[in-house]
Structure 1
Amino acid sequence: MNKNKTALAVPLAAALLAAAATTPAAAYGNPWHSAWGASPQTATHTDWFPNWSEEGFRNQSVRQVIRAGAQGSELRVRLSNAYGKTPLRLTGATVAKSAGGAALQPGTVRPLRFGGGAAVTLAAGAELSSDAVSLPVQAFEQLTVTLYFQDPSGPATFHNVAMATSFRADGDHLRDAAGDAFSAPGNQSYSWYYLAGVDVRSPAAPGPRRDAVVTFGDSLTDGFGATPGADRRYPDALAARLAAQGRPRPVLNAGIGGNKVLTDSACFGESALNRFRRDALGRPDTGTVIVLEGTNDIVQPDGPQDRCTTGPRVSAQQIIAGHRELIREAHARGVRIIGATIPPFGDSGYGTARGDAVRTEVNQWIRTGGAYDAVVDFDRAVADPEHPEKLKAEYAFADHLHLNDAGYRAMADAIDVNAL
């Protein structure tokens, strides 16, 4: 990327994100508090992570499991048609407590309504919150949202690397407590569709809070390599640490697998610059953001080039300039921002001397530049001390680019919770 490209990215981000500030996501204020969220992406096909986004849904129910990160006596569900080209007609929706897999706990199924109606149409590019639902929720409790589309949905706004199983079935199964209708082969996916967030509120804690921690990044934040369906990403492990210390706070995952600081991707979402205000700062209760971005800017140009990874090689200074813009955005909103160093990838198929030199320079700036409010050194937490260009063997996923459960737990353990 040349200097002009970097210079253009900032005003583009400002224009796009000013528009995002007019959506309901920026307006869902007190007394609602974030309990879960996912960063939306445009419909795309990737061989490494197949999904249903391009084909969408017609006369199908889509059942999706998430884990709440905060408690409340009421909840609401936020849906996104951010990348839809046409209005999205949702015939009906429910929320319930999960009984494992596609099954629901009997007696917990609640209809979701929108302005009092069961059906709703989301305009292209819009986000919408449901009406309040009376369903007590505990932190770390699994919830299931089921959406039914009678008419063709068209390509779906979705989140690719959910690391949790979603289900589909032909017909209307909004209220089925059993998961039998969703069990046919080919009816499972590791992505989320149209879900943007879940908020909670409680009369016992009605006041404003800005205690949400948003973890913002790429697949290392998304949790690729962790055990699917087990909630063992590093943000999950951080939330568990905080709860165990009697300091519970919602930890929200705003990672997108393959994401870059500087460049949009057909497969891996808008750049960090172009999505930061929506995905990290677009919640009134965001108090702290942890940024782990830059790996893909470095490694993708050195790997096989296709529609997903195409892009120029970039310098450490260009990546640093992108980080500085994220810091300015956060500080303008009064949000604390923590910089995370980039873990090594020397044993992966993407490892090059050039790439490691860029990574080392970016990490040195994060550690010593003083631009971030605090630093978490993920690099040193998971690198092999004898071969610092590589991950520790016990922390590495099979591709030696991502982490396993133990590696993500080590990342969470490296965070000074007092810095949050």
Structure 2
Amino acid sequence: MFTTVWTASPQLPSEGFTPNWSREGFWRQSLRQVVRLSGGGERVRIRLSHAYGTSPVRVAAASAGRAGEPGSLRRLTFAGAAGAEIPARGELVSDPAELAVGAGESLAVTLYFDGATGPATFHAQAFTRSYRGEGDLTAAADGFDAATESWYFLTAVETDAGRRDAVALFGDSITDGFGSTPGADRRWSDALAARTGRPVLNAGIGGNLLLNDSAWYGEKGLNRLSRDVLAHPGVDTLVVLLGLNDIGFSETDEQPTYKPAPVVEAAELIAGHRELIRQARGAGLRVIGATLLPFGGSDHWGEHAAKVSHELNEWIRGSGEYDAVVDLDRALADPQDPGRLRPAYDSGDHLHPNDAGYAVMAEAVADVL
């Protein structure tokens, strides 16, 4: 039985926050992606998504190995074949490969595309580098000459650990890890995995909204929960931290793909949270609600946003509708000004935590698991 030990939520090809290759895709090129696993096992398989593709994409060859250990490299197969197609709007799962990995280790996955992929389903904000090189480099130690900080096609790594205690974090850029040190794996999902020893899946998308879709920021949370969390094997707990962009985008002029942003009321967000709870409980998951973090002084703050955030947080704390509550608002608030992040936890934009703030978030969640 397999357990998911790493995830990235797929997004529509787009310009995104930083330069990426999603719109141009790949042709006669190899793509190497390095991901940090939150659980171990003796066998590994990968999951590739082309959720936003209009025609199949052929993977001519693929490999996986422990990062920095060329001797651990294993050829990946698909139904026994070296290559296969990812169906348009579908996914492709590799055969299990004999490869021992441990929690906290990094896995290097290399894909070779011998034909033109067209626009690539991707995850915009990886906060770690992915590499591209010419030709088939699936067995090569190097040869990659370009890099971006996004993931492409790769949406999950699974191992044969057979565990059924994975925790999924569902949210926006705070869950995705914005403000953490790039390349250092210091998101709160990483910190929670290290703190608990349980597999932790990061289902965050930068800019994501609970109630509405966006060209850059992914499908709305109400629609993507099933694909990005419930479909993964081994998950038994869901932590929801979502709604701040629904509140805050109407206060800022800095969101080029989401204008005009609706002015959202607390009742709408509460209904959305109730729907997430219903879907997750229907899949047998324990559901934990996280209060929204303080955001005073950020580009998301305004009188209406502050009011709605307070009302939503009070409902999360006091309604009893979640199985448990983690009060991240209070855990990260500045004691001198509770509407703002504590300066020691602020990445600098008054909205996203830094590494220290993410570690505090992980500790708070660990206490209610």
Aligned-residue offset at 1:314: 0.6
Which residue number in structure 1 is paired with residue 316 of structure 2?
A: 366
Please tell me whether residue 145 in structure 1 is matched to residue 114 in structure 2: no
Give yes or no for the alignment of 1:108 onto 2:72. Answer: yes
Moved over 6 A (4+): none
Write the deviation string for residues 352-411 of structure 1: whole angstroms up to 9, x where unpaired: 111111111100000001110000011111111221111111111122211110010111
Partner-residue secondary structure (3-state), 1:226:
coil
Aligned to 1:44: 14
Partner secondary structure for residue 230 of structure 2: coil
**How far off is 1:311 after superposition?**
2.8
Q: Which whole-Å CA distance do the structure 2 matches of 1:170 and 1:387 have between them?
A: 53
Q: Report how far residue 106 of structure 1 moved.
A: 2.2
Matched, 1:414 2:364: yes
Q: Which residue of 1 aligns with 2:232?
A: 283
Q: Which runs of 5 or more residues in structure 1 are unaligned?
A: 1-30, 100-104, 243-247
Q: How far apart are the structure 1 equivalents of 2:362 and 2:233?
A: 24
Task: Tell me which residue corresponds to 2:339.
Answer: 389
Cα deviation, residue 416, structure 1: 4.3
Q: 1:289 to 1:387 in 2, by over 3 A?
A: same
1:193 aligns with 2:162: no
Task: Please provide the CA RMSD for this pair.
Answer: 1.2
1:166 to 127, 130, 135: 130
User: Does 2:94 correspond to 1:120?
Assistant: no
User: Which residue is 2:58 aligned to?
Assistant: 89
- Give the number of aligned pairs: 368
Superposed CA offset, 1:307-364 (max 9, x none): 2454311101101110000001111111100000000111112221111111111000
- Distance apart, 1:111 and its partner CA: 0.8
Greater shift in the superposed pair: 305-314 or 259-268: 305-314
SS for the counterpart of 1:44 is coil
Matched to 2:186, the amino acid is R
Match of residue 33 from structure 1: 3
2:264 alignment counterpart: 314
Whether the 8 Å CA contact 1:265–1:309 is kept in 2: the answer is no
8 Å CA contact 2:317, 2:325 repeated in 1: yes
Distance of 1:230 and 1:306 partners within structure 2? 29
Once the two structures are TM-superposed, the CA of residue 306 in structure 1 deviates from its matched residue by: 2.7
Instruction: Give unpaired runs (5+ residues) of structure 2.
Output: none
Secondary structure of 1:363 counterpart: helix
* Per-residue deviation, residues 281-307 of structure 1 (Å, max 9, x unmatched): 112311000000011001112212532
* Other structure's SS at 1:199 match: strand
- Give the match for residue 245 of structure 2: 296
Which residue is 1:54 aligned to?
A: 23
Give the stretch that moved more between structures: 377-386 or 318-327: 377-386
- TM-score normalised per structure 1: 0.86
The percent identity for this pair of structures is: 51
CA distance in structure 2 between the aligned counterparts of 1:328 and 1:91, rounded to whole angstroms: 41
Measured after TM superposition, the shift of residue 120 of structure 1 is: 0.6
Residues in 1 aligned to 2:256 and 2:37: alpha-carbon distance in whole angstroms: 36
Whichever residue aligns with residue 277 of structure 2, its letter is I
CA deviation map 1:208-254 (0-9, x unaligned): x4211001100110001100111100111111111xxxxx2101100
